[in-house]
Chain A
Amino acid sequence: MTAPSARVVAPSLPRVLGQIRPRPRWQELRLLTLVAIAMAVGSLSLGAVRTEAFGLYDPWGLGIYLGTLLLAHLAQVLAGRRTDQILLPTVAMLGGVSLLLMERLPQNLVVQRFFGTAFGLAEVQLIWLVGAIIVATTLGIVVRSDSWLRRYKYTWAAVGVGLLLLTFVLGTEINGQRLTLQIGPVAGQPSELLKVILVVFLAGYLSENRALLVEQDTRVGPLRLPPLPYLAPMVAMWAIALGIVVVQRDLGAALLFFGVFLALLYAATGRVSLVIIGMILFLLGSALMANLFGHIQTRIDIWIDPFADPLGAGYQVIQALHAFARGGLLGMGLGGGLPEIGGRPPIPEIHTDFPLAALGEELGIVGVVAILGLYLVIVERGLRIGIAAADDFRSLLAIGLALVIGIQAFIIAAGNLKVLPLTGVTLPFISYGGSSLLANALVVGMLLALSDKGVEAPPPPTSVSRWRRLTRRGPAR
Chain B
Amino acid sequence: MDGFTLVLWGIRLLFLMLLYLFLARVIRALLRDLRAAAREATDRPGRLVVLESPGGEPAVGRSFGLDVITPLGRDVNNAIVIDDPFASAEHAVLTYRGRSWYLEDLGSTNGSYINGQPIDGVAALGYGDEVQIGQVRFRLERTRA
Contact = CB atoms under 8 A, between A and B. Distances in A.
A455 to B, nearest CB: 12
Interface in A1-45: 27, 30-31, 34-35, 37-38, 41-42, 44-45
Counting contact residues on chain A (CB < 8 A from B), the size range is 35 or more
B25 A476 contact: no
A45 B22 contact: no
Given A384-B33, A387-B145, A476 B126 contact: no
B130 A460 contact: yes
B12 A334 contact: yes
Interface string A204-233: 000100111011000000000000000000
Interface in A371-415: 371, 373-374, 377, 380-381, 384, 387-393
Looking at A89, A391, A475, the one whose CB has the most chain B CB atoms below 10 A away is A391
Given A42-B15, A473-B121, A388 B145 contact: yes
Interface stretch (A59-67, A256-264, A463-471): A463-471
Contacts of A331: 12, 16
A270 interface: yes
A476 B125 CA distance: 14
Contact of A48 (B8, B34, B119): B8
- Main SS of chain B's interface residues? mixed
Q: Is chain A's binding surface mostly helix, strand, loop or mixed? A: helix
A329 to B, nearest CB: 10
Contact of B16 (A48, A89, A367, A475): A367
Contacts of B102: 476
B141 interface: yes
B21 interface: yes
A215 B102 CA distance: 11
A363 B29 contact: no
Given A38-B18, A93-B22, A461 B11 contact: no
A48 B11 contact: yes
Contact of B144 (A41, A211, A388, A458): A388
B23 A392 contact: no
B120 interface: yes
Nearest to B33: A384
A53 B81 CA distance: 78
Contact of A366 (B4, B16, B116): B16
Contacts of A374: 23, 26
A476 B124 CA distance: 11
Given A38-B22, A476-B122, A45 B12 contact: yes
A199 B131 CA distance: 28
Contacts, number: 161
A37 B19 CA distance: 10
B11 A44 contact: yes
A474 B126 contact: no
Given A391-B127, A468-B125, A476-B95, A363 B21 contact: no
A83 interface: no
B76 interface: no
B79 to A, nearest CB: 16
A90 interface: yes
B124 A460 contact: no
B100 A211 contact: yes
A86 B29 CA distance: 8
Contact of A41 (B14, B93, B120): B14
A169 interface: no
A183 interface: no
Given A86-B30, A464-B115, A333 B8 contact: yes
Nearest to A27: B29
A334 B9 CA distance: 11
Contacts of B119: 469
Contacts of A215: 98, 100, 124
Contacts of A390: 127-128, 141-142
B60 interface: no
Interface in B45-95: 93, 95
A370 interface: yes
A370 B13 CA distance: 13
30 contacts: A31-B26, A34-B21, A45-B11, A45-B15, A48-B11, A49-B8, A90-B26, A93-B22, A211-B125, A211-B126, A214-B99, A331-B12, A334-B12, A366-B16, A367-B19, A370-B16, A381-B30, A384-B37, A387-B145, A389-B142, A391-B126, A391-B127, A462-B115, A464-B116, A468-B123, A469-B120, A469-B123, A470-B123, A472-B121, A472-B122
Given A30-B25, A41-B14, A469-B119, 11 more contacts: A333-B9, A363-B19, A381-B30, A388-B37, A391-B127, A391-B128, A457-B128, A460-B128, A470-B122, A471-B120, A474-B121
Interface of A: 27, 30-31, 34-35, 37-38, 41-42, 44-45, 48-49, 52, 54, 85-86, 89-90, 93, 207, 210-212, 214-215, 270, 330-331, 333-334, 336, 363-364, 366-367, 370-371, 373-374, 377, 380-381, 384, 387-393, 457-458, 460-464, 468-476
- The 10 A-B pairs at the shortest CB distance, nearest first, are namely A391-B128, A211-B124, A38-B18, A333-B12, A391-B127, A370-B19, A473-B121, A388-B145, A464-B117, A464-B115
